[in-house]
Every structure is written in structure tokens, then in C-alpha cells.
Amino acid sequence: ISIPPASPESPAPLPPWRQPHNVLAAHRARFGEKAPVWVFGYASLIWRPEFESLEHRPAVAAGWHRCLRMRSRINRGTPELPGLVFCLLNGGTCKGVVFRVAQQSWRDDLTRLWAREMFTGVYEPLWLTCRTPQGPVRALAFTLDRLLPNHSGPIADDAMLDILRHARGRYGTTLDYLLDTARGLREHGIRAIALNTVEDSGALPIECDVASFSTGDVITVKPYEGKVFNTKGELLAERSG
């Protein structure tokens, strides 16, 4: 993948406890010098990690959910028209993938990861306990505080459509990011028709026939009505049963 050069803006200064070497030092102080270093991917890290991993596993982070509610003014939008990217908010559960970082390259790997994920200093890096088929692991995850201005909160349908149609940043459009994430999740066996599924967010689930859906469709799900519409307001599907 060809990655555009970094933004000419200066990276946001980070307090000491959010610097990569200190985050890792806190992990090793608690779990030991030889404790494996894992990273939890829930969106773009699944389909475009910044490092070579020794292994990866499906994982579930309890107490957190994936949500398209973080404003992106550089990577997927601009200050004039911010895009959106997924964030990890507290509450619910989130299915993703954990990647084990090689001991000999953790410093370089985390430096690259920080340059990408912490460029604006918005995320809060936390060590989460993630369930995997082989047992629990402690994994680094980039979470978001709802009180920060980059948390968009609920977005009206017309505003969301405007973002999906027009928002573009140094890495491309918000829509491309959304579709790439859906594909990445699907390749790892994670349902992606509705990215905030009942497993992800605790929201009211809806089961329906998706035969009329096409890749790239922008849809509106009305769970309490049990209906799914396209951008023209046409009914695509209704709740099964």
C-alpha cells in the first residue's frame, strides 16, 4: 500500500505517561520483562497494521465497543470537513484481532504505531484484557474518552451522508475507510453488515434478508421499526420473523 507523506503539521505533544516507551515500561513493570506485547486491532489495524506480527488471534475486548464516532481532520478528512474513523468507547463488547509484537523490534514497531495512531494525541492507549481461543492476553488498545472534542456523539443522517460522500484526508475518504474496515472484519469472520452489532454495542439487534444489499451500499437501519433503507429512502429489507 502506498502511504502519503505525513502531514506537515507538528505532532501533538504527549504527556510522559502516554509516550510509547513509558506505556510499555508500565506493562513490563506489572507483568514482567519477558511478558509478550500484544496490540488489539478493531478497525484499520486489522487490514493495515504498522508492523510484522509473530502471530494473530481473534479476540474479544469486554467493556468496550467499536463505534464510528471519532472526527478525523487529517487522515480521513480536513479541518473544514472532518471525516470519521472508528474508535473504541467504553461499554458493550468488541470483537477484533490481537497481534503479538516481536520482542526484538517492539521499540521500532511501537514508534511507527504511535506516529500513526497518536499523531494528534487524541487516543488514550490502555492495556485491556482480551479473550482469545488460546486464553486471555493483555493487549494495547487505542481508546477514546467521550468527553474529548474529537468524539462526535450521535450524527444526524444527513450529516453522515455528507461525510461519506465528501470527506477526504491524506489516507483517502471516510467511505473507503469504512468499506476497508468492513472487508477486514469479514475476512476475520466478524460480521460486518452492521458494524455496531449486538456483540459490539449492546444495541437492539435486527435480523433480515440481505439479498438486496450490494457492496458499498450506504444504509439506514431502523431497529425499532425493523426496517433497512437505502439513501433514496427505498426499503431494502425488513426484520425476519
Question: Region 75-82: what's the mean pLDDT?
Answer: 94
Instruction: Report in angstroms the alpha-carbon separations of 73 from 3, 55, 81, 88, 167.
Output: 17, 33, 7, 18, 9
Question: Region 85-93: what's the mean pLDDT?
Answer: 91
Residue range 132-154, pLDDT digits in tens:
999 999 999 999 989 888 899 98
Name the β-bridge partners of 98.
Answer: 40, 57
Question: Region 214-233: what's the mean pLDDT?
Answer: 81
Residues 6+ apart with CB under 8 A from 134: 57
Which of 4-18, 64-78, 89-103, 111-125 has the least mean pLDDT?
A: 4-18
Position with higher pLDDT, 63 vs 32: 63
Question: Region 46-65: what's the mean pLDDT?
Answer: 91
Considering only the C-alpha atoms of the chain, give the largest distance between any 2 of them, rounded to a whole number of Å. 57
